[in-house]
Structure 1
Amino acid sequence: MSYIQWPAGYVPGFTDNFCSNEVIVAGLTTADVWPFLNEPGRWPDYYRNSADVRFHDGRGPALENGVRFFFSTFGFPVESQVVEHVPPVEGQPARVAWHGWSGEGDGRLDVHHAWLIEDLSGGRVRILTQETQNGAPARELATARPNPMINGHQEWLDGLVAAARAARG
């Protein structure tokens, strides 16, 4: 199976926090799922931990390489910039990743949030999301129980699958 490509400074195991969530479901394709992830304005419709989505520089509504956007999540106002964007192509996984940041100084949080969506045999799709984080807020999140990142991202995956299934009919 394919894997996330990590930039320097964000490799899991060398950051302050890391979370990984994955689902494999039958009856959907990468093409079914992609629009619900690639258009952040749709996120609040199926993921309650996302709000206030807006794009900078007159861009949007879809993500693409280099695009800057903003959203609120986990109580953080997050500025983001897309650093990887590979739309679905037959035989290759779709990928999207952004660098996100919030706060300043000792309270700054920096993240690399990556997604991989790939079609599997038997009419299945795999959706993997992983995030690494650096900064004092990341260290606090890493020790919180229950783990808000793992639980929140699982809710995001579950909502993404439900939205794609509802659209497919």
Structure 2
Amino acid sequence: MHTINWSTDYLPGTTDNFVSNEIITSGTTLEAIWAQLVDTAKWATYYDNATNVKLDDSNDSRLHFAEHFRFDTFGFPIDAQVMELVAPTAGVARLAWHGWQNGDAATQFDVYHAFLLETLADGRVRLLTQESQVGRPAAELATQTPNPMLNGHQNWLDGLVRAAKGQL
């Protein structure tokens, strides 16, 4: 199976918070899931924790490589830039962004959030999302039980699958 491409700054196990969520599903396609994931105008239809999404290029709601965008999530206003965007090719698709909140030592943090979509045998699709975070707010999130990032990202994947299957 394929894995997320990590830079050393965000290598899981070396950061203040890391979460990993995965679903393997059937009854949809990699392309249908991808269409829902890269179109930020659709996020609000299946995931209520990504709001006020604004792309620098307001002519298109789809994410593009190197695109800057902003959104609110987990109570934080996030600035972000798409770092990896590989549309479905040979059964694999990738999307990742670097996100950050500027501030002082108590409020600043950086994240790397990645999605990996992969076609599997027998009409199944694997969805993996992982996020690695650095900074005091990230360290505080990591101490909460249950971890809000873990539950939030599971909701994102669950909603993404329902949207791709037309079940909303």
Deviations 1:69-97 (A, max 9, x none): 111100001110000000011x2410000
Matched, 1:98 2:97: yes
Structure 1 match to 2:38:
38
Deviations 1:138-158 (A, max 9, x none): 000011011100000000000
Amino acid at match of 1:23: I
Deviations 1:2-37 (A, max 9, x none): 000001200001111000000000111110100111
Mapping 1:118-129, distance limit 5 Å:
118-129=118-129
For residues 40 and 58 of structure 2, the distance between their equivalents in structure 1, rounded to whole angstroms, comes to 14
Q: What CA RMSD, in Å, does the superposition of the two structures yield over aligned residues? A: 1.4
Deviations 1:16-68 (A, max 9, x none): 10000000001111101001110112111110111001111446311111000
Q: Which runs of 4+ in 1 moved over 6 A?
A: none
For residues 93 and 71 of structure 1, the distance between their equivalents in structure 2, rounded to whole angstroms, comes to 26
Q: What number of residue pairs does the alignment pair up? A: 167
Unaligned runs of 5+ in 2: none
Identity %: 50
Structure 2 match to 1:62:
62
For residues 114 and 62 of structure 2, the distance between their equivalents in structure 1, rounded to whole angstroms, comes to 16
Unaligned runs of 5+ in 1: none
Secondary structure class of the residue paired with 1:13: coil
For residues 56 and 125 of structure 2, the distance between their equivalents in structure 1, rounded to whole angstroms, comes to 32
For residues 95 and 138 of structure 2, the distance between their equivalents in structure 1, rounded to whole angstroms, comes to 22
For residues 24 and 130 of structure 2, the distance between their equivalents in structure 1, rounded to whole angstroms, comes to 15
Amino acid at match of 1:19: V
For residues 116 and 104 of structure 2, the distance between their equivalents in structure 1, rounded to whole angstroms, comes to 31
Taking structure 2 as the reference length, the TM-score comes to: 0.95
For residues 47 and 57 of structure 1, the distance between their equivalents in structure 2, rounded to whole angstroms, comes to 22
**Could you tell me whether the CA contact under 8 Å between 2:21 and 2:154 is conserved in 1?**
yes
